[in-house]
Chain A
Amino acid sequence: MSVVVRRRHGVLVHAALLAAVLIVLVPFAWVIAAGFRTQISLLMGETLFEPTLASFREVLFSRSSDFALNFRNSLIIGTATTLACLVIATGAAWSLQRMAWPRFAVAGFLAWALLFHMLPPITLAGAWFSMVRSMHLENTLTAIILAHVTLNLPMALWLMGVFVRDVPEELIEAARLDGASTPVILWHVARPIIAPGLAATGILVFIFSWNEFAVALNLSIKQTATVPVAIAKYAQGYEIAYTQMAASAALSTLPAVLLLLVGQRAIVKGLTTGALK
């Protein structure tokens, strides 16, 4: 398409994209604003309102809320899950793709991973709970981390398999002729090549772990609850604490916004190369 045609369409295209951006952002903005309202002002649908910090104060500092703790838990679980997933998945992917397994074994393993990835996690939550207990890991972050690693491993394995296949065979051969062992090859030859893949996979795993609700709900207690579990609490029982729900939703969006501002490029690259390679 010529530059002239592009310019002519430019305005229209920008208008369409801006509309899409508005549709994405308006609900966020409105809900953040709702966090600054009183419940009755929200319920009455008033357009103008006097902002109050009451809901944020309730979410952050009231005794029945542990938002800071939830935040910390989500952060620890997300980070540990990501690291564990990357190490385990890279090792397994390398072994499967590069180390002369019979084809049926590789296909079988990957098919099992894919099938497992398709199962609703809720089917496994009950069984995991009793297993966690028998391992004496109840009420620990470790239990949730284990569950999250298992849930995300198939995806990580699948993605890392793609990246690992991209490491040129000649490089590995050359290193092997030089007498390099598998760990040396992995660290010095493969790692620099698959680094973008690791970032991509890591970001996806972190996001999925950060957002996971059903399993965390079943495996956590007050001290180990994650952000999604904490938010669900505002919509239970006899009333929906709309403004607190809005305030906590706004607060939990905050790290997302920070992540975006700091690492937008990496996230996009991660998401896209991760799924498309």
Chain B
Amino acid sequence: MPMMTRRTAMLGATGLLAAPRPGFAQTSLPPLSIVINNSPWFDGFRNLVDRYEKDTGNKVELDVNPFGGSLEKQRSSVRAAKGQFDVLIMNASWFTEMYFGGFLEAIAGIEPGFRLDPGIYTCDDTCFFDPVAKTMTAQGKLYSMPVNPNIPLLFYRGDLYRQKGLTVARTFAELEANAKALHHPPSIYGMAQRGARGPGSVSYDFYPYLFGYGGALFRDQKAGDYTVLLNNDKGHAALDYYMELLKTAGNPKAASFDQAEVLQAVATGKAAHAIAVIAAWPQVDDPGKSIVVDKMELAPPPSLPGLPTGPGLGHWLAGISKNVPDDHKRAAVAFFKWFQTAEAQIIYTQVGGTPVHKAAYAHPMSKERKYRWMQPMAEALPYAINPFRFPESSEVVAILELGLNRVVAGEVPAGPALDDMAGQILKLMQDKGYKTGKA
């Protein structure tokens, strides 16, 4: 194919021109195109990108999409002969698809010797991938850069806690007691739970309970053991507790509460507690959107005594597309290099982002009232669990969403429903050829 060779030749030529130079200011780099979705944390990311452009003179183009639209754009781009986007901002719910599909370039494959800054949170090692063993462990190659370490935290009303003399809930028993103490429907509910069916709604709300009870979806995904543990004793105990909390101190209509409704309940002072993602935090302290400004506090999600907190990751990773010209890939690496420095991460925090570097969380500003989310984040992040490490996870999520939503809606009893979901997941994993089995 003559066209092919010509293109390759041209790429080679531009590659020579853009030979890496030391430092960040590589003026010969082409504009970097990043596909991203419109989240509350997007403004912070954009501000940081502005800073990058100013500091280095490099250009960045951001393609902003609705959440679902972003995935579709990424799929279309990576599947084409020539990609449209250099960098994909991938959510926890779909980065495995990009890894397993072979759509991303290992970062060291673009610039040998590139190392992840040791201060960066690896988000349950999900930024690493071994394309042969198909596992994500620190032994794999670096395939992406964490850009937002989104996890759920326990949001609670500090002002009401002080009034009632309550202490921060660390265990599930304490959470239930505190939630009951503040439960005065219909003016305020003890706990706002997110029970809606969505692309990752009620299941995502349930993970901190499941993991906090020591439960799991599968036995050991890192080792390739997909034995279904969802409905073991711990899983059943977690779901029973989740439903008990809902019944004794929860919001009615939880089955139609998605993230927006939960946060709406928090912002309008109708929820004393909620487990919600840190990405949603800014609106709680925004006087234009909330009547509980300065009243909410944060803590890691509770767990059983003796067990660590278990927030489920809903993080974002930046991967470099394989099917883009080499100079574009190098432009991406240049951005990553700048992005992962402690200095950039501190700026990231100050311009409204959620940093991924330990140095930012250790910075004195984390003691300030305005940044009161930073310490609970730093506490919870090392225990954050990535729920799925295989590309068909959206089908498992669909099973969980429908099953859990029906439990929350009261259509089916919790116990048999959980067994049924586990059975469906088992069958799915068998069909897909994974090593699986019953607990």
Contact = CB atoms under 8 A, between A and B. Distances in A.
The answer to whether A and B touch in the complex, with CB atoms under 8 Å apart, is yes
Interface of A: 38-40, 43-44, 54, 63-64, 129-130, 133, 138-139, 217-218, 221-222, 229, 232-233, 235-240
A64 B38 contact: yes
B40 interface: yes
A221 B73 contact: yes
Interface of B: 37-40, 42-43, 46, 62-69, 72-73, 76, 79-80, 84, 259-260, 263-264, 267-268, 277, 279-280, 283, 287-291
A217 B80 contact: no
The 5 A-B pairs of least Cβ separation, nearest first, read: A236-B66, A39-B289, A240-B260, A236-B67, A238-B280
B46 A40 contact: no
A54 B287 CA distance: 13
A208 B379 CA distance: 52
B259 A238 contact: yes
Contacts of A222: 62-65
Contacts of A40: 267-268, 287-291
Given A217-B69, A222-B63, A237 B268 contact: no
B38 A239 contact: no
A238 B84 contact: no
Nearest to A64: B64
Given A64-B43, A239-B259, 14 more contacts: A39-B267, A40-B291, A43-B289, A44-B291, A129-B76, A130-B79, A133-B76, A221-B73, A233-B38, A236-B66, A236-B67, A237-B38, A237-B259, A239-B260
Contact of B40 (A39, A54, A138, A239): A239
Contacts of B260: 238-240
Contacts of A139: 84
Given A44-B268, A44-B291, A233 B63 contact: no
B400 to A, nearest CB: 20
A188 B309 CA distance: 80
Contact of B267 (A43, A129, A221): A43
Contacts of B38: 64, 233, 236-237
Given A44-B268, A64-B38, A138-B84, A238 B279 contact: yes
14 contacts: A38-B289, A39-B289, A43-B264, A54-B288, A133-B76, A139-B84, A222-B62, A229-B66, A235-B66, A236-B37, A237-B37, A238-B263, A239-B40, A239-B263
Given A40-B268, A43-B268, A238-B259, A233 B66 contact: yes
A14 B289 CA distance: 42
A38 B279 CA distance: 21
B298 to A, nearest CB: 15
A75 B227 CA distance: 54
Nearest to B150: A238
A267 B34 CA distance: 43
Nearest to A230: B66
Nearest to A45: B268
Contact of A239 (B65, B80, B283): B283
A38 B283 CA distance: 12
B101 to A, nearest CB: 16
A110 B79 CA distance: 36
A237 B291 contact: no
B290 A239 contact: no
A138 B42 contact: no
A241 to B, nearest CB: 9
Contacts of A133: 76, 80
A233 B283 CA distance: 17
Contact of A238 (B39, B65, B268, B291): B39
A238 B280 CA distance: 6
A126 B287 CA distance: 42
Q: Which of B37, B42, B64 has the most CB of A within 10 A?
A: B64
A40 B263 CA distance: 12
Given A64-B38, A64-B43, A133-B76, A236 B68 contact: yes
Contacts of B65: 222, 233
A81 to B, nearest CB: 21
A217 B63 CA distance: 13
A130 to B, nearest CB: 8
A237 B280 CA distance: 9
Contacts of A218: 72
A237 B70 CA distance: 11
